[in-house]
Amino acid sequence: MTTREPVWTAAQRAERLARCYDLDTLDVSYDAELYLQLAHQAGMDVLELAVGSGRLAVPLAMAGHTVVGVDDDPAMLERAWKRWSAERGTLDEARLRLHVGDFGTFRSDQRSDLAFIAVNTFLLAPDDESRLAVLTTMRHHLRPGGLAAVECSTPDAETLATYDGRLQLEWLRVDPQSGEEVTKSMSARHDPEAGTVELIQLYEWTGAGGGPLSRVTQRDLLHLVEPAHLARLMHDAGFGEVSLWGDHLTIPYGAGSHRVIAVGRLL
């Protein structure tokens, strides 16, 4: 079967990737309870950096919080707003406010009780200067005593050894928006000297009635961060009492944890 990468504008490609992202996270809910718990603990107002299509922000707003979401992808924000509009019912639409912005430079006059960046977006920052810029954005928008949470993957050596560039099929799903059959394949390659993982996500689909196979790809370079180093960066950014939690459980980070959630309180 012929495979083609359609000729799109940047906006069209972003819209397609946003649709594929929603398919990819269709059954992802393992982290929602953690951020709901943190929000209830911290207070009413929440800032989410890399809000994406609202997978976490919309449930937080539905639970009674006022949420500010920031993302550098307008296509993602459009889907987040559509999701909120479809689910909010009679709730005040201002409970969720969305902004296009860079995570390291975004500034507003709004202050929150919790600021967080979920999944692995923090690992896109290539160096400590960029990481501190993201943490400074979080600090700027927090009230005194507010909480900041940063989530990162921490794959062990055995897992990293499997990141050898092989392409693996992850799923086959039907896009409810178009009826297209979509597959996702992913490749991960670890560079131990650079401390990076290159992720290539490849989405392919056919029309609802068949036809040629189309493709769109997303490449990300993740810069791995040791949990202890992440805690030091948070201290340097003005956060105290930094706790390192393992995975999405509120237990200390340790052996067997494949993900860290660093939680700090603004001094």
What average pLDDT does the segment 52-68 reach? 97
Same domain for 69 and 136, yes or no, is yes
Decide if 25 is inside a domain. no
What average pLDDT does the segment 2-18 reach? 81
The pLDDT value recorded for residue 2 is 53
* Lowest-pLDDT choice from 94-103, 207-216, 231-240: 207-216
Tell me whether strands 259-266 and 45-49 are parallel, antiparallel or unpaired.
Answer: unpaired
Percent of the chain with pLDDT over 70: 98
pLDDT above 80 (res 5): no
Same domain for 72 and 188, yes or no, is no
User: Between these two residues, 1 and 183, which has the higher pLDDT value?
Assistant: 183
Decide if 218 is inside a domain. yes
Question: Mean of the per-residue pLDDT values for the chain?
Answer: 94
**Domain limits for position 216:** 3-8+157-222
Decide if 170 is inside a domain. yes
pLDDT above 80 (res 200): yes
- The 10 Å Cβ neighbour count of residue 39 is 26
Distance spanning both ends of the chain, measured CA to CA:
59
Residue 100, domain CATH? 3.40.50.150
Same domain for 114 and 244, yes or no, is yes
Structure confidence by residue, pLDDT tens digits, 151-170: 999 999 999 999 999 999 99
Structure confidence by residue, pLDDT tens digits, 100-138: 999 999 999 999 999 999 999 999 999 999 999 999 999
Same domain for 109 and 238, yes or no, is yes
Decide if 20 is inside a domain. no
Same domain for 118 and 137, yes or no, is yes
Decide if 23 is inside a domain. no
The pLDDT value recorded for residue 4 is 57
What average pLDDT does the segment 180-193 reach? 97
The pLDDT value recorded for residue 206 is 87
Dihedral angle computed from the Cα positions of residues 23, 134, 218 and 200, in that order, rounded to the nearest 10 degrees: -100
The last residue of one of the domains, among 222, 237, 258, is 222
